[in-house]
Amino acid sequence: MHEGKRPGGLTALAVFNFIGVGVDVLGIITVLGMIVFGGKLADIAERGFRKQAEARAREEGRDPATADVEPDQQRALAVMRNYEGGSGPILQAVGLVACTGLLLAAGIGYLRQRRWGRILGNIYAIVAVATVLQQMRVVPPEYGGGLRFAALIGFLYPVVTLYLLNSTFREDLRR
């Protein structure tokens, strides 16, 4: 490629990085909100779940005082309470912040066609895969954890990035 002439694919990769930064910022806000307010949200949700259970018991002719929250609702409450002050969610937030910073810096490096953009892109890909693995472990499948579409994207984009940076755009990111 000519000196100073950036390939369109490299520009597209930078744009995808910037879109990923926006998505990650929303994720960071969500995780931090759950860390700070998880217990309070669980208390509010539990009151609603109890009212639903009591209403079902009345409809079925049972004593509302014996009504219990459904098992899946109990798991949801446990997840919300575990987020408040838990070490797993804090690691999740740290991983998201690291990925977001690396994604932004790498995108800028791609646009400037700098070698450090390629290095940061490679580091991002490794950190992103580790973060997705950690999220799959911490968050139960019924609440977005496990192997889901988001996890697949979380794996796919870093792998594609590694491939493109180390093959297709290797020569374009040498300065």
List pLDDT tens digits, range 5-24. 899 999 999 999 999 999 98
- Does 72 fall in a domain? no
Say what the pTM is. Answer: 0.74
- Does 133 fall in a domain? yes
List pLDDT tens digits, range 34-59. 888 888 888 999 999 999 999 989 99
Label residue 1 by pLDDT band (50, 70, 90): very low
- pLDDT at 171 > cutoff 50: yes
- Does 172 fall in a domain? no
- Does 54 fall in a domain? no
List pLDDT tens digits, range 92-101. 788 889 989 9
- Does 99 fall in a domain? yes
- Does 46 fall in a domain? no
Lowest mean pLDDT among 107-111, 123-127, 142-146, 162-166: 142-146
Chain-centroid distance of CA 111 in Å reads: 25
Domain ranges, residue 26: 14-36+85-166
DSSP conformation letters of 66-101? G----HHHHHHHHHHHHHTT-HHHHHHHHHHHHHHH
Number of domains in the chain: 1
Number of helical H runs and strand E runs in the chain: 5, 0
- Does 114 fall in a domain? yes
- Does 93 fall in a domain? yes
- State how far the Cα of 9 lies from the Cα of 125, in Å rounded to an integer: 18
CB distance 1 to 104 below 8 Å: no
Pull the structure tokens for residue 63. Answer: 């004593």
